[in-house]
Amino acid sequence: MSRIASIEALPLRISPKTIWTFVQVTDADGRTGTGEATLNAREADLVAEVARLKPYLVNRPAEPAPLDVPVPDGGVVEASVSSALDQALWDLKGQREGKPVWQLLGPVQRRRVPLYANINRRTVDRRPEGFAASARHAAAVGFTRFKVAPFDDLTPAIADGEAGRPLIDAGIARVAAVREAAGPEARVMVDCHWRFTETSAERAIDRLAELDVDWFECPVPENATTVAELVRLRKRANDAGMELAGLEMATAPSALLPFLKSGCYDVVMPDIKYIGGFAGMLQAGSLCRRYGAACAPHNPTGPFCHGASLHAAAALDGFDLLEHQYDESSLFDRLVSGRLPEHAGDASDLPSAPGLGFALDAELARELRA
């Protein structure tokens, strides 16, 4: 059994507003596995957590935990690093066995993974025209499902007052531009990033219903005190023809349970970077199926999160759609040696090479080190 020889955290500067953080595990046979731990504005904490764990993990077996072992809940930094380590160890396992990870995760439920395009981060021009241009760009390569986060600078503290009104109006105008550019048959999803109160979210739902929005995501903060609000907002959204989605920052499958049991969401969005890697993602999918929620993994960051999410989607219970971080940077493709799976229209093939199916370009990573 091969053992861990070294572990390294790699924060890479992708754009003035974006750093993607990867964790690499090298085994005693010289193979390297990679996972993604991207966590905005917490890069130094991620590096420190990897440094803290390194003495405990070097020389231990380079094997991931079994998929049925419960994932402990904890802080988001610890969860991000442990999730990335799990991805990297599965990458190594697949390389050793000469199989793509999805073949090792259990019964294959799908070989094509439906995607939607998150066009928000490519949209530097935040005018409605900029959002419309991004929607047309994604539509030109075959996407028919689009997500935006249009409510820039809004916070719950101002959402109900005069200061919030123009920010909400601006967000609605951006969504209207995407709807017009995408056409009446396209699916349009709106991510709120927890910027609303219950009252302001209700008003936004009513206005977005006029634009035939399909999906309303993360309207209010997610905690024990907002469960009842979320249940009411789900009913409001459903009555308006929308699904309510959320829980992208859950750090263990158990963290989903209070929301699933209460019926807060139509769609639950575990992220393989935070939920506990492959084990956490598959356990989250089983919980979603048990409680009747669709599972649509959150995936708005770098290529290794995308690749790992594709592998997980092949085996995921209750699977709906996979988010695809569309065209923020050409580095998404250039950072990997080998090729990410091609998407045709708005669905992707699974990776075919052993492990995750691709590796980090070491020379480019050195240039981008943050």
What does the alpha-carbon distance between residue 303 and residue 111 come to, in Å, rounded to a whole number? 19
How open is the CA angle 366-367-369, to the nearest 5 degrees?
Answer: 65
What are the structure tokens assigned to 272, written together?
Answer: 């393989």
What are the structure tokens assigned to 236, written together?
Answer: 């409001």
Sign of the CA dihedral 205, 184, 142, 139?
negative
Q: Across the 370 residues of the chain, what is the mean pLDDT of every consecutive 10-residue run?
A: 96 96 98 98 98 98 97 97 98 98 97 98 98 98 98 98 98 98 98 98 98 98 98 98 98 98 98 98 98 98 98 97 97 92 91 97 96
Tens of pLDDT, residue by residue over 133-181, are 999 999 999 999 999 999 999 999 999 999 999 999 999 999 999 999 9
Q: For domain 106-354, say whether CATH 3.30.70.360 is its number.
A: no
> Which fold is adopted by the domain 4-103+360-368?
Enolase-like; domain 1 (3.30.390)
Tens of pLDDT, residue by residue over 88-131, are 999 999 999 999 999 999 999 999 999 999 999 999 999 999 99
What does the alpha-carbon distance between residue 302 and residue 218 come to, in Å, rounded to a whole number? 21
Q: What is the pLDDT of residue 344?
A: 83
Contact 349, 311 (CB under 8 A): no
One-character DSSP codes across 99-133: SBGGGGSSS---SEEEEEEE-TTT--S-SHHHHHH
Give the list of residues 6+ apart from residue 341 with CB closer than 8 angstroms, or none.
307, 310, 348, 349, 350, 351, 352, 357
Q: What is the DSSP letter of 23?
A: E
What are the structure tokens assigned to 367, written together?
Answer: 């240039």
What does the alpha-carbon distance between residue 307 and residue 299 come to, in Å, rounded to a whole number? 10
The domain spans of the chain are: 4-103+360-368, 106-354
Q: What is the DSSP letter of 254?
A: G
